[in-house]
Amino acid sequence: MDFLSTLRAYAPWATALVCLYSLLKAVYNVYFHPLSRFPGPKLAAASLWWQAYLDLWENGSLSLKLVELHATYGEIVRIGPNELHFSRPSAFHEIYNSRNRWSKGSYLYDAFVDTKSRSMFSILDYESAKKRSELTTNIFSRKSIIAMQNLVQECVDGMCANIDDHIANKRPVHFRRAFRCCTLDSICSLCFGRTTHALGAPEFRSPIEHALGTTLPIRRLAKHIPFLMTFLRILPPSLFRYLQPYSEGYLEVVKILSTQIREIFANPQSLANSDHPTVYHELMKAKDQSILTEEAFLDEGFLFLFAGTDTSSNALSVGTLHVLGDPQVYAKLMNELLEAWPRLDDRLRYETLESLPYLRAVVKESLRVSHGVVTPLTRVVPSDGAVISGKFIPGGTVVSMSNVLVHTNEEIFPEPHAFKPERWLDPAAGSLDNWLVSFSKGPRSCIGINLAYCEMYLAFANLFRRYDMRLNGVSPSDWRWVDHFLPVYSGSAPLELWAQARLT
């Protein structure tokens, strides 16, 4: 028998065996698995394909579906054969806290592996991730960001220069793109000592900015098709371009990062030419040889680019939409800014802006309403188990709680879907900070928090102080998101505004 005939003869048997195995596995998962006592949809307990269905067919509705599931099944819901999701806010701090050394869950984080190795974000175990993240924490410390804030201010000035062009050409400003270009150039300049010049692109249409927006759906797909990222990696660029027509900018990013890294490895002294420390300066200090490779540098380069661009720009976009959509909020913010910043030509420093109470409240409310990451961030309970939400959870269980469930909890944030900076000004609001979880909490929380705050204060303050603005046909009630790990906006109108330069 030749190969094809053998294949034809055995294929039906092989298919039948796979189906039988899957069926038996599903029955075991639903009725005999250690998590079978926890409530939830039977299909979710049976197989991870249930999550794939929500992500792929229902267009990223997992996080939104969770709200509905908790209303039906209670505060602990089984959302996968080995996965539980929690809704009681205190559970958030039981999972994500600085005492826990829990690993990340591979199902979610494998989709974020860009090369053959892993970045600090996609490394699963705490100890290895810590070794990596320790190298760069200094550069993102509050002290370091305050010292380098001029780099962010330059990018904000670049954004304003481009807005001036829009005004001269009587064009509305696509503020989603404007903020994305601003955070992209800031992160590149601060982390790599280079810029992609996204801010100079006419109407903020930078190919790199566009490409960043198109890679998130690929991650969502890769979560359920484990070999996808490996496959994309080995594709020749021309084929990649054909399959993914918007990939031009992504390939450009790969080229920029790889070229710079190759130059650094060929001549480490070239780092001395930079007028401020970059992440590569810090990574070069590693004692662990496995980090001193071009691939590991590329992993971290990618990570900073992706982690630092859409996150901050999302919060800025959502905040701007809400401030301009509410005349009272807009007026209060302007009163405060005009008083603190009377001369238009001055530039206020980040530390000064941080001390303005209403601006601070707007920043926090923008972070709350935009959630940061919306996908539940999975952690694995250590082998001896843990108590979460008052129940014993067996070791090895994947647990999580989406930020959305904390930020929309009515007891903590009354009228959770309304944009109300005032909630942060209430004298009793001190403890509210504990419930602002956009940057997550615990040892794997955001390393870029200080940079993100600096960008938000400088961008908001400069934009509102320098321009009088109104929305162009879009309103806060249009703000709808789908879960692409980060919330991705989809609305009936583009996020655009009309700007007019203030004269004094």
Q: Give binding residues for heme as ranges.
A: 446
Does 439 participate in binding ligand HEM (rule CB under 6 A)?
A: yes
The Cα–Cα gap between 383 and 37 comes to 19
Is residue 139 within 8 Å of 279, Cβ to Cβ? yes
Assign 190 to helix, strand or coil. Answer: helix
User: Least distance (Å) from ligand HEM to the CB of residue 440?
Assistant: 4
Q: What share of the chain is helix, strand, coil (3-state, %, to 5)?
A: 60, 10, 30
Question: Which runs of consecutive H residues, i.e. helices, occur in 32-148?
Answer: 42-46, 49-52, 62-73, 89-95, 106-109, 126-137, 142-147
DSSP assignment, residue 54? I
How many residues touch ligand HEM under the rule CB under 6 A: the total is 26
Does 361 participate in binding ligand HEM (rule CB under 6 A)?
A: no
The residue type of 309 is: T
Does 405 participate in binding ligand HEM (rule CB under 6 A)?
A: no
Q: Looking at 47, 59, 440, 475, which residue binds ligand HEM (CB under 6 A)?
A: 440
If one counts every other C-beta atom within 10 angstroms of the C-beta of residue 154, the result is 15
Q: Which is nearer to ligand HEM, 140 or 464 (CB)?
A: 140
User: Least distance (Å) from ligand HEM to the CB of residue 249?
Assistant: 19
Does 189 participate in binding ligand HEM (rule CB under 6 A)?
A: no
Q: Looking at 448, 471, 481, 499, which residue binds ligand HEM (CB under 6 A)?
A: 448
**N-term to C-term CA, the chain:** 88
Q: Looking at 369, 377, 381, 474, which residue binds ligand HEM (CB under 6 A)?
A: 377
User: Least distance (Å) from ligand HEM to the CB of residue 229?
Assistant: 17
Footprint of ligand HEM on 130-159 (CB under 6 A):
133, 140
Q: Which is nearer to ligand HEM, 53 or 439 (CB)?
A: 439
Q: Which is nearer to ligand HEM, 123 or 232 (CB)?
A: 123
CA dihedral sign, ordered 435, 106, 375, 72: negative
295 by Cβ neighbours in 10 Å (0-12 / 13-18 / 19+) ranks as: middle
Per the document, the length of the chain is 504
**Helix or strand holding residue 497 (H, E):** strand 496-501
- Give the contact letters, 85-124, x = binds to ligand HEM (CB under 6 A), - = no: -----------------------------------xx---
User: Least distance (Å) from ligand HEM to the CB of residue 32?
Assistant: 31
The Cα–Cα gap between 365 and 361 comes to 6
Is residue 47 within 8 Å of 36, Cβ to Cβ? no
Question: Which runs of consecutive H residues, i.e. helices, occur in 225-266?
Answer: 228-234, 237-243, 248-266
Q: Looking at 59, 117, 445, 475, which residue binds ligand HEM (CB under 6 A)?
A: 445
User: Least distance (Å) from ligand HEM to the CB of residue 373?
Assistant: 4
Binding site members: 446
User: Least distance (Å) from ligand HEM to the CB of residue 446?
Assistant: 3
Q: Which is nearer to ligand HEM, 118 or 423 (CB)?
A: 118
User: Which structure tokens are listed for 246?
Assistant: 């918007």
User: Least distance (Å) from ligand HEM to the CB of residue 152?
Assistant: 10
Footprint of ligand HEM on 285-324 (CB under 6 A):
303-304, 307-308, 311-312, 315
Q: Looking at 447, 463, 469, 471, which residue binds ligand HEM (CB under 6 A)?
A: 447
**Helix or strand holding residue 103 (H, E):** strand 103-104
- Give the contact letters, 253-292, x = binds to ligand HEM (CB under 6 A), - = no: ----------------------------------------
Q: Which is nearer to ligand HEM, 356 or 446 (CB)?
A: 446
Tokens 């108590």 — which residue? 387
In angstroms, the Cα distances linking 412 to 319, 409, 432 are: 20, 6, 7
Q: Which residues contact 199 (CB under 8 A, 6 or more apart)?
A: 155, 158, 159, 161, 162, 181, 182, 185, 206
Residue showing the smallest CB distance to ligand HEM in the complex: 448
DSSP assignment, residue 444? T
Does 471 participate in binding ligand HEM (rule CB under 6 A)?
A: no
Q: Looking at 401, 452, 495, 499, which residue binds ligand HEM (CB under 6 A)?
A: 452
**Helix or strand holding residue 471 (H, E):** strand 467-471
Q: Looking at 444, 465, 466, 484, which residue binds ligand HEM (CB under 6 A)?
A: 444
Does 212 participate in binding ligand HEM (rule CB under 6 A)?
A: no
**CB under 6 A: which stretch of 260-268, 345-353, 438-446, 495-503 binds ligand HEM?**
438-446
User: Least distance (Å) from ligand HEM to the CB of residue 445?
Assistant: 6
> Under the rule (CB under 6 A), what is the footprint of ligand HEM?
120-121, 129, 133, 140, 187, 303-304, 307-308, 311-312, 315, 372-373, 377, 438-440, 444-448, 451-452
